[in-house]
Amino acid sequence: MAEAQLFVSQDDFTCSMCLDTLTDPVTIPCGHSFCLKCLTDCWDQSQECSCPQCRHTFTTRPTLRRNTLLNEILKKFTKTRLCSPPSQNYAGPGYVECDFCTGKKLRAMKSCLTCPASYCQTHLQPHYEVAAWKDHKLVDPDRNLKEKLCEKHQKSLEIFCETDDTCICMMCGVTEHNGHKMVKLETEREEKQVSGV
């Protein structure tokens, strides 16, 4: 009989309190799991016992017991992860984070000026596969996406108005800068780089 493959990521074993891999996992009556220390510290500092994730309140403090099944799965997952190289890197200092990752954020591979958001390799896939997103403007990861958007129309700045010496979006070009001398932003950038301005 063929063995089924199970695809899991580190996020599936992350404590939502410390955002690290579960340590001594305990599962509370609502079904959520946390590190024993994280949950104990939280409840010791609070007047009531509630789930940090779904906020379900318990009338009496539940007895916490280690989730042995989850603990065994974590051991196997950790061992497997140590044997194989990581497929993707988490965003560290100096890197742009994926806007769609939950828990620990993966490093963004591209930023989309149309959306505007930054995406890891997994969350970027729809931009290559969904027909409606294929014409979106993808650039290298950029943490300053807001600066590349027109404040008025929230569209990407793609045109340079030579008359007003400013970057504008297509809507501005049609409405407020009609009749002005305009060039593509890339053209203006190249000319300035050549002239050393």
Contact 22, 13 (CB under 8 A): yes
Domains of the chain: 10-83 (3.30.40.10), 86-147 (4.10.830), 149-197 (3.30.160.60)
Supply the pLDDT for residue 83. Answer: 47
- Quote the pLDDT of residue 110: 92
Q: How far apart are CA 154 and CA 171, in angstroms?
A: 10
Structure-block tokens of residue 99: 């806007």
Under 8 Å CB-to-CB from 48, ≥6 apart: which residues? 57, 58
CB contact burial 160-194 (16+ within 10 A = b; e otherwise): bbeeeeebbbeebeeeebeeeebeebeebeeeeee
Structure-block tokens of residue 7: 């695809």
DSSP notation for 4-38 = PP----GGGGB-TTT-SB-SSEEE-TTS-EEEHHH
Question: pLDDT digit of tens for each residue in the chain (197 aa)?
Answer: 445 445 556 667 788 888 788 888 999 998 888 999 988 998 888 888 898 888 899 888 888 888 888 888 888 776 665 444 444 577 777 789 998 888 788 889 998 888 888 999 889 988 888 888 888 888 888 888 778 888 888 788 888 888 998 888 888 988 889 889 988 877 777 777 777 65
Q: How far apart are CA 149 and CA 190, in angstroms?
A: 20
Per-residue pLDDT at 197: 57
In the three-class reduction of DSSP (H, G, I as helix; E, B as strand; rest coil), residue 66 is classed as strand
Structure tokens given for 194? 């050549």
pLDDT at 21: 81
